[in-house]
Amino acid sequence: MTKAKLKLALVALCYAPVAFAQTPKDNKQQQPTTVDESAFTFTEAQLGDNENMSQNVTIINSASNLYASQVGFLFSPMRFRYRALNQKYNEVHVNGVPLNDAVSGQFRFSNVGGLNQQTRNADFALPFEDNLFAMPALGGSNNYDFRPANQPAGHRLSIGGANRNYTLRGMYTYNSGLNEKGWAFSASLTYRWANRGYVEGTFYNSLSYFLGVQKVFGSRTQHSLAFTTWGNPTERGSQGAATDESYWIANDNQYNPYWGYQNGKVRNSRVVNDFAPSAVMTWDWKIDDGLKLSTSLFGRYSMYKSTKLNYNNSDNPQPDYWKMLPSSYYDVWDETNKLARTRQSLADWYTAYNYLTASKANRQVNWDRLYAANKSVAAQGVDAMYYLQARRNDALTLALASTLNMQVTKNATWNLGFIGSTNNARNYQTMDDLLGANSYHNVNTYAIGTYAPNSSQVQYDLNNPNALVGKGDVFGYDYHLLVNKAMAWSSYNVLLGRVNLMFAGKVGALACNATAKCATDCSQKARLAKAVPRIFLKVAVKQA
């Protein structure tokens, strides 16, 4: 490796952020790292969504660590926490670009749902394990290789059935491989469907797509450009957690309080709509056999919506609300609690118990009753007593990553990397359904009583006091979060006989800006900036 080539590579690495092109790359340009069958695929039931995010570190595979590979496969469905860390300490990359959410730190695996074949092509690094795409996070790092030339060539058609989140799944994948002209193409289409999931009241409807094209130029000094886009538009009815008392009353460990019958048909109050179209452009430059530069630019626009049944100046309509349960009347556990163990409270306990066990409909959302109540108050010109709200999160993410991999000697490698990202997210709430009512005003009814009904303290937005809210209108809250991140990292790995040494470190900066529409005459803003250095040294003894 000549000094001139090394200088040229360093100049390209430094100018990658200016060009806003991005990075990752593994040591072997066109050799896929395919996960074997012991590496498992998570389902949305295990991984959840934004509102109910899994707190597990996702250890997909680690051939160098027997303990991690075993507990990852066997115990992850039981919410096992590797090193007692939650999922935000596990970083997920695509072509070297980190995809974890800029605000929560989590990665929502449903964004790559249905891409089973593509996500098998991955690199894995546990904490303190050397790799070529990042300094590994405290919970490890995964890097999915979405380059079309690195996907296994051929056609693959799969049709399956299940009794979990979805009932039927059809999947077709085509990868051309790298042809004589240096082109590679990849495409995949997956559809998953369930009219009813394994939990009553749930449903599932999801389409996944994957399209990629790659062109390789040159022979000895090789360049490659790859473009890949994917997405997973999904609509599904959710399952809700309940108390042990509710499961006992229902005599069903899969009891779901989120659904009920409307005009004889099943309707779920918690419906999630999730779509995050994503794309990555990757430039790989093989300068020589021991020097490679990878730069990738990633973009994603995520649209997340989750509905919820709510109430206004009325009782909570949830069938598992604590005031509806027998335990709210009589304390069956504490014999010293005389106030909650009277003859009348025991009679009330039996009344509540007999009502909830008399019919399944009594343990579900009574949509017909909610519509009737709203229509009754609408005739009197009163706001909706019950309504369906939609919590939304729209976010535009752009990220740039560039990595330089150098084979310094036969037993030593040196990696340099830069990562920069910006995330502009809007979090807001809209009216999804008035449930038969005619009006609703943007007022905090929970504050009425503590404050006068006409006071400014009960207004969500003083710029538009007592605003009338219709279907699709924003109410309650509406704020933007702008997060900018930048980080540089480096690692050096050397094998000295039976001893393996790795030195790694990174330094980064974070800047946040929040803008919200709130109960003031002007928008409120908050800013945060900090630098985060991190360095570690690993010494390992190589087995004979």
Q: What is the pLDDT of residues 365-385, one digit of tens each?
A: 999 999 999 999 999 999 999
User: Does a structural domain hold residue 57?
Assistant: yes
pLDDT of residue 383: 92
Q: What is the pLDDT of residues 428-442, one digit of tens each?
A: 999 999 999 999 999
Alpha carbons 459 and 461: distance in angstroms, whole number: 5
Give the tokens for residue 78. Answer: 């039981």
On the question of pLDDT at 166 being above 50, the answer is yes
Alpha carbons 97 and 398: distance in angstroms, whole number: 10
Give the tokens for residue 493. Answer: 């790995």
Give the tokens for residue 184. Answer: 């590679």
Q: What is the pLDDT of residues 75-93, one digit of tens each?
A: 666 666 777 777 788 889 9
Strands annotated E in 69-179: 91-94, 97-98, 122-125, 141-144, 154-161, 168-175
On the question of pLDDT at 165 being above 60, the answer is yes
- pLDDT, mean of residues 403-410: 92
Partner residues linked to 531 by β-bridges: 509
Element (H, E) at 392: strand 386-409
- pLDDT, mean of residues 63-76: 65
Alpha carbons 475 and 390: distance in angstroms, whole number: 10
User: Does a structural domain hold residue 121?
Assistant: yes
Is pLDDT larger for residue 183 or for residue 521? 183
Give the tokens for residue 253. Answer: 């460990």
User: Does a structural domain hold residue 516?
Assistant: no
Tell me which of 191-205, 290-304, 498-512 is least confident: 498-512
pLDDT of residue 63: 53
Alpha carbons 494 and 186: distance in angstroms, whole number: 37
Residues 95-125, buried b or exposed e (16+ Cβ, 10 A)?
A: bbbbbbbbeeebbbbbbbbbbbbbbbbbbbb
CB 297 within 8 A of CB 264: no
pLDDT band for position 230 (cuts 50, 70, 90) = very high
Question: If you write DSSP's letter for every residue of 394-433 in order, what string do you get?
Answer: EEEEEEEEEEEEEEEETTEEEEEEEEEEEEEEEEEEEEEE
Residue at 274: amino acid letter = D
pLDDT of residue 295: 96
Residue at 541: amino acid letter = V
Alpha carbons 393 and 300: distance in angstroms, whole number: 13
pLDDT of residue 136: 82
Altogether, the residues listed in the chain come to a count of 544
Q: Look up the domain containing 95 and give its range.
A: 32-145
Alpha carbons 327 and 345: distance in angstroms, whole number: 10
Residue among 369, 356, 351 at smallest CA distance from 319: 356
Element (H, E) at 355: helix 343-358
User: Does a structural domain hold residue 268?
Assistant: no
- pLDDT, mean of residues 349-367: 94
3-state secondary structure of 97: strand
User: Does a structural domain hold residue 111?
Assistant: yes
CB 280 within 8 A of CB 298: yes
User: Does a structural domain hold residue 91?
Assistant: yes
Alpha carbon separation from 420 to 98, 102, 153, 277, 509 (Å, rounded): 10, 11, 33, 20, 10
Residue 487 CB burial class (10 angstroms; 0-12, 13-18, ≥19): buried
Show Cβ contacts of residue 541 under 8 Å, excluding neighbours closer than 6 positions: 498, 499, 500
pLDDT of residue 103: 84
CB 491 within 8 A of CB 415: yes
Element (H, E) at 525: strand 524-541
User: Does a structural domain hold residue 124?
Assistant: yes
pLDDT band for position 3 (cuts 50, 70, 90) = low
Three-class SS of 230-264: EECCEEEECCCCCCHHHHHHHCCCCCCCCEEEECC
User: Does a structural domain hold residue 42?
Assistant: yes
Alpha carbons 412 and 461: distance in angstroms, whole number: 61
Q: What is the pLDDT of residues 235-257, one digit of tens each?
A: 999 998 899 999 999 999 999 99
Please tell me the total count of domains within the chain.
Answer: 1
pLDDT of residue 44: 42
On the question of pLDDT at 466 being above 50, the answer is yes
